[in-house]
Amino acid sequence: MLSSLISNGQPQPPAPSELMVPWWSFTKTVLAATALSLVRDGQIGLDEPIPDQLFTLRQLLRHEAGLADYGELAEYHAAVSNSESAWSTDEMMRRLDGTRLRYNPGTGWRYSNVGYMLIGKLIERLTDLALDDAVSQRALNPLGLSNIRFAKTRADLQTTHLGSTSDYDPAWVYHGLLIGPISQAAVFLDRLMSGDLLPTNLLQEMQTARALGGAIPGRPWVTAGYGLGVMQGSIDGGFTLCGHTGCGPGSVIAVYRIYDGDTSACCAAFEVNASEGAVEAFVAEQLIQVLRQGA
C-alpha cells in the first residue's frame, strides 16, 4: 500500500511516495476548499441560493441539494466496465433526468457527483477561470503544492501508478479527477485543516457534519457524517477522523486527519484491488499510532 504520514506538520519516514495516483473523490475536498475560498473573499455566501437554482452552496457541498447521482444508472456502470468513452455532460444529465430534484433542498441527503460538477461550474463562473486554473490559484498554490493536475484523457492516467492496467476514461468523473503524489494529498489536507487557507469560522463550517448513521459493516466508522466536502465520523477510541475516501475502477484512496490536544496527524493511503474499508482501516491505524506515540 502506498502511504504518506504527517505528524504535527512534519512528514514521517519512510520517505513519502512521489508516484502519481488518481485522487478520485478526494478531489471533492479540493473543490470544496476552492469554493470556500470564494466565500472567504465575499464572492458568494454559503446560504445564498445558487443563481437559477433552488439550493445553496452549503447544500451542494454537503450533498443536501436534492440532486441525484449518475452512479445509480445501470448503463453508466456497464459503460465504465466496457471501457467506453464518457458520455457528454448533456447526455449524462438527460439519461439521469439530472435537473429534477429528488427531494426539497435541505430536507434530505444523497451523495451526488452531479452536485460537485455544479460546484466546479460555479467556481469557473465566479472566477472567470478554467477549473484547472481556479483550483491551482485558489487552493493548491497557496498551500505550496505542485505536481497536481486534472486527468482529462486516458493517456493522463497512464502516467499514474495504475499505469497500463487502466483503460478508464477520466471524463467519467464529471466534476474532474485530480491526479498527484499520495504525499501531496496528505500535505493538502493537513495544511488546509491547520488553517493555512481558510479562516477558523469557515474551517468550523467545513467540519460541521450532517450525521448519517452508525457503524458501517466492513469499515472503521462507529458513526458517519458528511460536512462541506469532507467525510467525518468517529472510530474506536472516541477519535474523530476528517477527510475523504475515493474509489474508482481498481483502486481506492483514503486521506484523513486526526488531532488530540497538541498532537495532529494526517495520513493518505492508496491501494489497488482493495476495499474502501481496508484502506480506511489502515489509515485509522496509522493515525491512532501517532496519537499514542505523542501521548
pLDDT in tens, 86-118: 999 999 999 999 999 999 999 999 999 999 999
pLDDT at residue 1, as a whole number = 86
Report the CATH number that the domain containing residue 6 is assigned in CATH: 3.40.710.10
State how beta strands 20-22 and 2-7 pair.
unpaired
- pLDDT at position 260, please? 84
Tens-place pLDDT, residues 122-134 = 999 999 999 999 9
What's the pLDDT score for residue 261?
Answer: 80
User: Is the model's pTM score more than 0.85?
Assistant: yes
Q: What is the pLDDT of residues 199-250, one digit of tens each?
A: 999 999 999 999 998 888 899 999 999 999 999 999 988 899 999 999 999 8
| Residues 30, 69 contacting (CB under 8 angstroms) | no
Q: Which of 24-38, 151-165, 223-237 has the lowest mean pLDDT?
A: 151-165
| Number of domain units in the chain | 1
> Given this model, what pLDDT does residue 158 score?
87
Query: What does the alpha-carbon distance between residue 33 and residue 294 come to, in Å, rounded to a whole number?
Result: 29
Residues in the chain, how many?
A: 295
The CA distances from residue 246 to 48, 113, 122, 243, 254, in Å, are 29, 12, 22, 10, 6
Band (pLDDT 50/70/90 cuts) for residue 181 is: very high
Rounded Cα distance, 64 and 291, in Å: 33
- Percent of the chain surpassing pLDDT 90: 81
Q: Answer whether 158's CB lies under 8 Å from 170's CB.
A: no
Q: Give me the chain's average pLDDT, please.
A: 93
Residues 6+ apart with CB under 8 A from 5: 11, 12, 16, 186, 265, 266, 267, 286, 290
User: pLDDT at position 292, please?
Assistant: 82
The model's confidence at residue 154, banded by pLDDT at 50, 70 and 90, is: very high
Contacts of 253 (CB under 8 A, 6+ apart): 21, 22, 23, 24, 26, 182, 185, 245, 246, 247, 268, 269, 270, 279
For the cut 80, the answer to whether the pLDDT of residue 146 exceeds it is yes
Q: What does the pLDDT read at residue 250?
A: 87
Domain that holds residue 180: 2-294
Determine the average pLDDT of the residues in 129-153: 96
Closest of 170, 156, 185 to residue 245, by C-alpha = 185
